[in-house]
Amino acid sequence: MAASRAEPAGDALRAEARAGEAPFTYTPFAALLFAGGSGASFATWQVGLAVLTIGLLPVVTYLSLGLAGRPAGLARAAAAFAIAAVGLWLEPVAMTLFFGQINLVLLALVVGDLALPDRIKGKGIGIGLAAGIKLTPLIFIPYLLFTRRVKAAGGQRADLRGHGRTRVRAAAARLRGLLGRAVRPAGQQALPPGQPVP
């Protein structure tokens, strides 16, 4: 059902790519997530994503400073806000805001996951979710394996399998719809699922 609602969004994405617009470079799972928020207006998305991006920048910086060995406290928080303020003027953050991308959301998932203690059972799921949305975070699977964090890499793999099932179900629904149109004569109604073709 969700896949059939996402089909028009997918068709629109492909049409934009053919028309010379910026192509949709995210996974089908991301398209399903974005289609879920398609009821909001464009202005709402612009403001919401800008506020979320600017709000996540000091959080990601604070967590990164912690990964670099800085002790938690007021000095680390002040440094995080200062670095985030400078970061707003740098090209990667400015272009993320300009194009309305979700790069800092994905970065927050990855850094937040890496900042979790290794004893946490769900470690790796944030990276897996980020990789399910955009493939770039997959680089952390070899990193986690190389640093002997096999459980975290396994959590990431399990999360990706879930995204894979979602993609397969969406593709199967799309294929059933396409094949149903291809084999029935014009004007004939589609057969209910599971009924053999006469």
Give the pLDDT confidence of 134-185 residue by residue, as tens digits. 888 888 778 777 776 665 555 554 555 555 555 555 555 554 554 454 444 4
> Residues 167, 29: contact at Cβ < 8 Å?
yes
Q: Is the pTM of this model over 0.85?
A: no
Neighbours of 171 (CB within 10 A): 12
Confidence of residue 8 (pLDDT cuts 50, 70, 90): low
- Going by C-alpha positions, the residue among 108, 103, 114 that lies closest to residue 153 is 114
Tokens of 86: 């400078």
- Helix (H, G, I), strand (E, B), or coil: what is residue 14? helix
Dist. CA 166–CA 59, nearest whole Å? 30
Instruction: Calculate the alpha carbon distances from 75 to 62, 65, 70 in Å.
Output: 10, 11, 9
In total, the chain counts a number of residues equal to 198
- Going by C-alpha positions, the residue among 97, 94, 111 that lies closest to residue 46 is 97
Per residue in 84-128, pLDDT tens?
Answer: 999 999 998 999 888 888 889 999 999 998 898 878 887 888 888
Q: At what angle do helices 28-36 and 125-133 cross, to 10 degrees?
A: 90
With a CB cutoff of 8 Å and minimum separation 6, the contacts of 103 are: 92, 96
Neighbours of 47 (CB within 10 A): 11
Confidence of residue 32 (pLDDT cuts 50, 70, 90): confident
Lowest-pLDDT range, 4-13, 57-66, 88-97? 4-13
- What does the domain layout of the chain look like in residue ranges? 27-182
- Rounded to the nearest angstrom, the gap between the alpha carbon of residue 173 and the centroid of all alpha carbons in its chain is 21
Looking at residue 18, its amino acid is R
> Residues 60, 111: contact at Cβ < 8 Å?
yes
The CB-side HSE value for 61 (13 A sphere, CA atoms) comes to 21
